Structure 1
Amino acid sequence: MMKVLITGSNGLLGQYLVQRISALPGYEVIATGRGANRLKMQQGYTYEAVNLLDEAAAKGLVARQQPDVIIHAAAMTQADDCERSKDSCWNTNVTVTRSLLREAEKINAFFLYLSTDFVFDGLAGPYKEDDPVNPINYYGASKAAAERIVMQSKTPWAIARTVLVYGLAEDPRRGNIITWVKQNLEQQKKLKVVTDQWRTPTLVQDLAEGCKLIADKRAEGIFHLSGKDMLTPYEMAMQVASHLQLNTKLLEQSDSATLRQPAKRPARTGFIIEKAERELGYAPHSFEEGLQIVLEQLAPAENKKG
């Protein structure tokens, strides 16, 4: 029986990791998040409410559970929040990672760290795993710092970097680009969408599967896990509108400068995922397929409301 500890289990990725891994034979899942368990699926795994910023609590969790694998998905991920609250961002993304790694080293647990395309400056995307990092905002800097700590660790480790994760969260207040475009255009509202950022958007189910493949194989090193399609947010929004036969004329092209966001965004990131395809058998959906999956998941929820 392989025991897997998943941090950040109330988050979008955490939710899908818990579902995916706890369904597998031979795996025991310990999920942890801040406060109460917010997942609809309450069976088939153990949940512990732990504030990982409390080092003694984090230490106690790992000592008690003795996991074989730790998937560290908990993080402060909103770039603008990180820019505004740098201490919180550093403590959450760097200090917590360091303290969890110390505990992982004591029991030689395999440590999988979730990271981001924002460790790159966006001048030369799409990126391979060994391209040099050069973050241009505080969120990216905190994740790059945590990556360095992981790489220096004495326990077996992997880093899974990803890009613009989308999917349906159990918390309906948590939007994504698909629901955002859908809701606004259905209400005939105009939307300004940027055309000067390029990403390879990642379906959350694909990311969860990639993490599972890394854990299964105990595959060490850095892996880029994202979608294959290089798109701007405007192109994504156009695909959503066209797919749903909504009015594309309500979508206005704009550039990042008009948004006045506290955190600078890298212009062109996106990933080359050949290493993950070759070494893990990672096979992500296209954005069009991902869009279809999310809309199919959304339909029952909307029918209930209707």
Structure 2
Amino acid sequence: MPMNVLVTGASGLLGRSVLGRLQRDPRLRVTGSALSRANNDLVALDLNDSKAVSDALDSLQPGVVIHCAAERWPDRCAEAPERSWQLNVQATESLARQCEATGARLIYISTDYVFDGSAPPYAVDDTPNPLNFYGRSKLAGERVILRSGHHWALRLPLLFGPAQYPGESGVTGLLETLQSRAPQALDHWAIRFPTSVEEVAEILAQALSRALEGEQFSGIYHWSGDSACTRYELALKIAEIAGLDSSHLSPDTAPQFEQPRPQNCQLDKSRLTNLGIRGKDSLEQQLERAIAPFLA
């Protein structure tokens, strides 16, 4: 009998890829939920409504809930802290309790921004020290889901992938920066590790496959792309792939951020790779797929 899986935030950048990948596994029966962007393919679910969440869990009977729903933009979190805390922490805590009560295992999507970026690479048991409200909210979310020992968290860095519009990700959004031809200085200080949501979806599929075979997952895991680059260097990569001129761009080695950013939060992903879990495509291959729909 297939295992039931619920993906929250399934209309978002990460959730769409996770939902699509897992739905291809015949051992899984996968449902996606969303709120403002719910449609005929997704269950409408307000994660702030505990009764609605309880009803959904009773109806769907998931063995696993992959919690992709979050406020993931640091500046937006700071602009609306109460709303962001409600979704990233309070709704997460309620969902975790209800999953535990029904026997479902919760996989919580977290961030590399739980670290301050001063001592990379970061192992899963290194002490967090978030610099901004977004990182603090995601760390608080980790702590509430890990209290029971029944759930686990997956920390991820800067994400990109198949997007509905270029600005849905800060990575593919660089395509518009290149196409605009307006002179612009881009951050050449913070070192990021762009990671494809398609690869994250594949990693989660491999993890669930191992779980079905008896592997026990608990605590914290990391996943990350392998290519280090600043925002400026990333723009140059995209320009090369797209055949676009980048001479109007310049490196900014002392950028001013609305919210503090860590310089380098490289994640040590060996806890997963030691299980034989692997990605397969290079950053350039992943970027090419992500920007191709916007180059026609």
What whole-Å deviation, never above 9, does each CA across 1:25-60 have from its counterpart, x for those lacking one? 12111111103435xxx6xxx621011111211121
Per the TM alignment, residue 139 of structure 1 is displaced from its structure 2 partner at its CA by 0.8
Residue in structure 2 matched with residue 281 of structure 1 by the alignment = 277
Give, in whole Å, the separation in 1 of the partners of 2:120 and 2:280. 19
What whole-Å deviation, never above 9, does each CA across 1:258-293 have from its counterpart, x for those lacking one? 3x41x2111111212222212142225332222222
Task: Say if 1:35 and 1:50, in contact at 8 Å, map to a contact too.
Answer: no
Residue of structure 2 aligned with 1:68, choices 63, 66, 81 = 63
Residue type at the aligned position of 1:49: A
Residue in structure 1 matched with residue 36 of structure 2 by the alignment = 35
Per the TM alignment, residue 302 of structure 1 is displaced from its structure 2 partner at its CA by 4.9
How many percent of aligned residue pairs carry the same amino acid? 30
TM-score by length of 1: 0.89
Residue in structure 2 matched with residue 123 of structure 1 by the alignment = 118
Task: Say if 2:13 and 2:168, in contact at 8 Å, map to a contact too.
Answer: no
Residue type at the aligned position of 2:252: S
Matches within 5 A, 1:73-84: 73-84=68-79
Name the SS of the counterpart of 2:172 in structure 1.
helix
Q: What is the RMSD computed on CA atoms of the aligned residues?
A: 1.9
Residue of structure 1 aligned with 2:96, choices 101, 104, 122 = 101
Per the TM alignment, residue 191 of structure 1 is displaced from its structure 2 partner at its CA by 2.6
Name the SS of the counterpart of 1:64 in structure 2.
helix
Residue of structure 1 aligned with 2:208, choices 206, 215, 228 = 215
Give, in whole Å, the separation in 2 of the partners of 1:255 and 1:204. 28
What whole-Å deviation, never above 9, does each CA across 1:5-35 have from its counterpart, x for those lacking one? 1000111011011111111112111111103
Task: Say if 1:214 and 1:280, in contact at 8 Å, map to a contact too.
Answer: no
Per the TM alignment, residue 63 of structure 1 is displaced from its structure 2 partner at its CA by 1.8
- What runs of 5+ residues in structure 1 fail to find an aligned partner? none
Aligned residues: 290
Task: Say if 1:117 and 1:162, in contact at 8 Å, map to a contact too.
Answer: yes
Task: Say if 1:227 and 1:285, in contact at 8 Å, map to a contact too.
Answer: no
Per the TM alignment, residue 246 of structure 1 is displaced from its structure 2 partner at its CA by 2.0
Give, in whole Å, the separation in 2 of the partners of 1:138 and 1:295. 30
Residue type at the aligned position of 2:178: L
1:166 aligns with 2:160: yes
Per the TM alignment, residue 190 of structure 1 is displaced from its structure 2 partner at its CA by 2.0
Residue type at the aligned position of 2:142: E
- What runs of 5+ residues in structure 2 fail to find an aligned partner? 212-216
Give, in whole Å, the separation in 1 of the partners of 2:80 and 2:280. 34
Name the SS of the counterpart of 1:70 in structure 2.
strand
Name the SS of the counterpart of 1:127 in structure 2.
coil
Task: Say if 2:124 and 2:222, in contact at 8 Å, map to a contact too.
Answer: yes
Residue type at the aligned position of 1:7: T
Name the SS of the counterpart of 2:16 in structure 1.
helix
Mark the CA change 1:287 to 1:92 in structure 2 (over 3 Å): closer, same or farther: same
Per the TM alignment, residue 212 of structure 1 is displaced from its structure 2 partner at its CA by 1.8
Name the SS of the counterpart of 2:274 in structure 1.
helix
Name the SS of the counterpart of 1:249 in structure 2.
coil
Give, in whole Å, the separation in 1 of the partners of 2:107 and 2:254. 32
Residue in structure 2 matched with residue 271 of structure 1 by the alignment = 267
What whole-Å deviation, never above 9, does each CA across 1:217-250 have from its counterpart, x for those lacking one? 2333321111011111111111111222322221
Mark the CA change 1:243 to 1:136 in structure 2 (over 3 Å): closer, same or farther: same
Residue type at the aligned position of 2:278: Y
What whole-Å deviation, never above 9, does each CA across 1:102-129 have from its counterpart, x for those lacking one? 1111122121110000100111122121
Residue of structure 1 aligned with 2:87, choices 67, 74, 92 = 92
Residue in structure 2 matched with residue 234 of structure 1 by the alignment = 232
Task: Say if 1:6 and 1:73, in contact at 8 Å, map to a contact too.
Answer: yes
Task: Say if 1:213 and 1:280, in contact at 8 Å, map to a contact too.
Answer: no
TM-score by length of 2: 0.91
Give, in whole Å, the separation in 1 of the partners of 2:69 and 2:48. 11
Give, in whole Å, the separation in 2 of the partners of 1:36 and 1:187. 29
